[in-house]
Chain A
Amino acid sequence: MADRRPGIEIRTRRGAKVVASRRAKRLTDRGERNPLVYLVAVATAALTAAPVIYVMLGGFRSNQQINTDPTGLPNPWKPSNYLKVFADPVFWNESKNSLVIAVGATVGVCLLGVMVAFVLARYSFKGRGALYAVFAAGLMFPLTVAALPLYLLLGQIGLAGNPLSIILPQIGFQLPMTVVILVPFLRAIPAELEEASIIDGTTRIGFFWRILLPLSVPGLVTVGVLGFIASWNAYLLPMLLLNRTAEYTLPLGVAHYATEHSTDTAMVLAFTSICMLPALIFFTILQKRIVGGLTGAVKG
């Protein structure tokens, strides 16, 4: 047994690591050259991406092309559908509505979430555990259950149609996830920093604004991205509360457009693929953050 583990005999951790990682590298290198690995990866990626690509290509075709051969490539390519969508004020208005709501909900949930997480992570008081439990329990409260009462309640107080009627519930329902991710994050910021800042004469609120908040930007970006995606994609609540087409967000607009222009498949394809773009671009830029955020959530 012992003679099979040369790394450990050296007794120094560094030595052991060198031996061991050379082995590991050989192991992964073998994976790199295995064509089966690439085959499975390519096949899975192709299957997941194919519908998106089909919709995007379909937008470049005419209805006649689509009807004669539903699976063909654009021939000739017709950018007119896309140009029409971009020239459509309805599309821009819906984008604006989506953006206002998503930014509002994201800023709100980040701000309120980091404040609560600050107290939960760095104050000690009776009831702190209970307060945390109240927020963590919210992970199990689905928005679906609250949808009908929210619709009635917000309609009664005259908020229906107002972006706030979407933003406020979205903040509420996103808070649990935000708090659960941020608390360990804020807790990990060294206590020495807080002590030093107190010695230098700031209050704890000063510490929060000047030191903690700038240091927690990575965590905030993570919860912000998750919150933004959740809000940007929301369908149920906007459907209930935004009834005039001028108030529609993009998901509502796409569904509406598809019903209105059900005979003009090519236009619907173009409209749909343009609505996919912001989420895809946003995700491409921030994918590391999202993955990081999920890691945080797993560890939570």
Chain B
Amino acid sequence: MTAVIPSEATPGTDDRAAGSGRRRPRAPRRSGLSFRTRGEIALFTGPALIVYIGFVFVPIALAAYYGFFTWNGVGAPTKFVGADNYIRAFTDPNFLKAIQHNAFYVIASLVVQGPLALLVALLINRRIRLRGMFRLLLFAPYVLSEAVAGVAWRLLLPPGGAINAILGGLGLDSWKHDWLGDPSVTNWTVLVLISWKYLGFAVVLFLAGMQSIPDELSEAASIDGAGYWQTQLRITIPLLGPTIRIWAFLSIIGSMQLFDLPYILNGGRPATGNQTMATYMMLYGQERHMYGFGSAVAVILFVLSLAVALVYQRLVLRRDTEGALTRGVF
């Protein structure tokens, strides 16, 4: 994920390339690759490149193109409007609110899930009984479809549903809310649900990262007299840095593109208080057939995600290729 570009030529590869062109001894060497090797490369990468370009690059490029038109999806887009769609999006208070909601999910997910997942991972990483079962239970929500999980929560969260009944049973009547209908709390509902759904992912990722930290380091620390928590704080967590940073990256990107859960829970409309950029895009793009405007919103979503990703990669992930210790571990 740190996008390490493969190091140069494994020794002997060139010899083999020349060897495979044995029948045409003059051809390869100087021009680099034999005809046959080129053919192999094309044969092996061709299908993937066709699918990748055709279904990833072309649609994204089309979104950028459509974004400059007013278009209802019928016929070819002809009504060129320049940057109007973009101006319109950025002057629509609902869209600005949607961006704010995404920003809220980005930051709150990091703040809530990060420390919690780290704590749980540290605890489970000890040799406790039934570790596999705990891991399984924690990870279960992650493998459920967002749509299925959303439907399940929709049944738990209405005013007369199980969650309010439990709160009432605990004597917390003042905590009862219309979790999906009251626009002032729906944001928090979504936050709790994404934390529920993705906490296990963070935990498993951290556990995986902890497994690649050599035992010798904490052994050495304990020999030097460090206590358990001191070892975790000074050795495990710093060495887990790269994993934490990659998790944060995935979490940020995921929060920026959040669609399924708010959409399933209560439609993700302006009035529901948890509209995101993606549900906004679908509202205009698909339901109101404003494909030009919807595409412009998609482009904004794309550019924002890309910008965040690049800045993050430059400022944060870059460290991972610098620290001598981390280079040893990863």
Contacts and interface: CB of A to CB of B under 8 A. Distances in A.
A280 B103 CA distance: 31
Nearest to A150: B59
Contacts of B291: 148, 152
A88 interface: no
Given A28-B126, A124-B13, A151 B286 contact: yes
A233 B47 contact: no
A244 interface: no
B139 A129 contact: no
Contacts of A240: 286
Contact of A24 (B136, B169, B212, B222): B222
Nearest to A292: B208
A30 B252 CA distance: 37
A71 B166 contact: yes
B225 interface: yes
A136 interface: yes
B48 A113 contact: yes
Interface string B142-186: 011111111111111000111001100100000000000000000
Interface string A100-142: 0000000010001101101111111110110111111011111
B140 interface: yes
Interface string B259-283: 1100010000000000000100110
B181 to A, nearest CB: 15
A31 B151 CA distance: 39
Nearest to B302: A145
Interface stretch (B83-91, B104-112, B292-300): B292-300
B62 A153 contact: yes
Given A122-B10, A123-B37, A233-B146, A145 B60 contact: yes
Interface string A131-175: 111111011111011111111110000000000000011011101
A10 interface: no
B204 to A, nearest CB: 6
Given A48-B200, A152-B73, A204-B20, A195 B208 contact: no
Given A41-B123, A191-B12, A291-B135, A300 B264 contact: no
Interface residues of A, dominant DSSP: helix
Nearest to A118: B44
Contacts of A115: 44-45, 47-48
B56 A49 contact: no
A49 B140 contact: yes
Interface stretch (A74-82, A213-221, A267-275): A267-275
Interface residues of A, number: 124
A44 interface: yes
B237 interface: no
Contacts of B55: 146, 150, 168-169, 171-173
Residue from B16, B166, B286 whose CB has the most chain A CB atoms within 10 Å:
B16
Interface in B1-46: 1-6, 8-10, 12-14, 16-17, 19-20, 32-33, 37, 40-41, 44-45
A295 B126 contact: no
B257 interface: yes
Contacts of B212: 295, 298-299
A248 to B, nearest CB: 11
Contacts of B19: 198
A185 interface: no
A149 B145 contact: no
A276 B148 contact: yes
A83 interface: no
Interface in A27-64: 27-32, 37-38, 40-41, 44-49, 51-52, 54-55, 58
A72 B45 CA distance: 57
A90 interface: no
Nearest to A287: B136
B324 interface: no
A246 interface: no
For the complex of A and B, 3 pairs with smallest distance between CB atoms: A31-B126, A172-B55, A251-B147
Interface of A: 4-5, 7, 17, 19-21, 23-24, 27-32, 37-38, 40-41, 44-49, 51-52, 54-55, 58, 67, 69-71, 108, 112-113, 115-116, 118-126, 128-129, 131-136, 138-142, 144-153, 168-169, 171-173, 175, 179-180, 183, 187, 191, 194-195, 198, 203-205, 208, 229, 232-236, 240, 250-252, 254-255, 258, 265, 268-269, 272-273, 275-276, 279-280, 282-284, 287, 290-292, 294-295, 297-300
22 contacts: A4-B224, A41-B120, A48-B140, A49-B140, A51-B196, A112-B48, A115-B48, A123-B41, A125-B32, A136-B3, A145-B302, A152-B66, A153-B62, A169-B59, A198-B19, A258-B151, A273-B152, A279-B148, A297-B246, A298-B212, A298-B243, A299-B330
